[in-house]
Structure 1
Amino acid sequence: MPVGSPKPQTVATKKYEKKAGFVSKSYKLRRELVDQFAEACDKAGISQAAQLTKMMKEFIEQQE
């Protein structure tokens, strides 16, 4: 759970994320690439998370 005195909504969000199996990952990438990716996602009208999920699934399928 969150540290300190979190608001009830923060606690509820963290509880949901844990139950749903969400995790936060951190990667170090070049700023230029990240900015280009964000711009491309905006142009395509898709969230960055949705596009990353799609690309990860496609890559996993290719490796099977």
Structure 2
Amino acid sequence: MPKGKPNKQTIASEKYQKKAGYMVKGFKLKRDIVEEFEKACKEAGISQAAQITKMMKEFVERNESIKDM
């Protein structure tokens, strides 16, 4: 449950995200890398979340294939 006095939309959004399996991850990264990534995503017309998801999936798949060897 959100802190404070959340409105109905906030509660509904959180309920959907939980049901859909979304979670928040926090990372500390160097500002220059983050700004370059943001710019590259804008130029490519892809959201940062979509690109990070794609890279994470590729990494997992690559490492699963290494494990299978």
- TM tier relative to shorter chain: over 0.9
Which string of whole-angstrom CA distances, capped at 9 and with x for unpartnered residues, describes residues 10-57 of structure 1? 000000011011000000000000000000000000000000000000
Alignment coverage as a number of residue pairs: 64
Q: CA deviation at 1:3?
A: 1.5
Alignment of 1:35 with 2:27, yes or no, is no
**Could you list the runs of 5+ residues in structure 2 that have no partner in the other structure?**
65-69
Written as runs of structure 1 = structure 2, the 5 A alignment for 1:1-64 is: 1-64=1-64
Amino acid at match of 2:14: K
Q: Which has the higher contact order (CA 8 A, sep 6+)?
A: 1
For normalisation by structure 2, the TM-score amounts to 0.90
**TM-aligned CA deviation for residue 7 of structure 1:** 0.5
TM-score by length of 1: 0.97
Pick the structure with greater CA Rg. Answer: 2
Paired-residue identity, %: 59
Query: In 1, distance between residues paired with 2:55 and 2:41?
Result: 13
User: Which portions of structure 1, spanning 4 or more consecutive aligned residues, are displaced by more than 2 angstroms?
Assistant: none
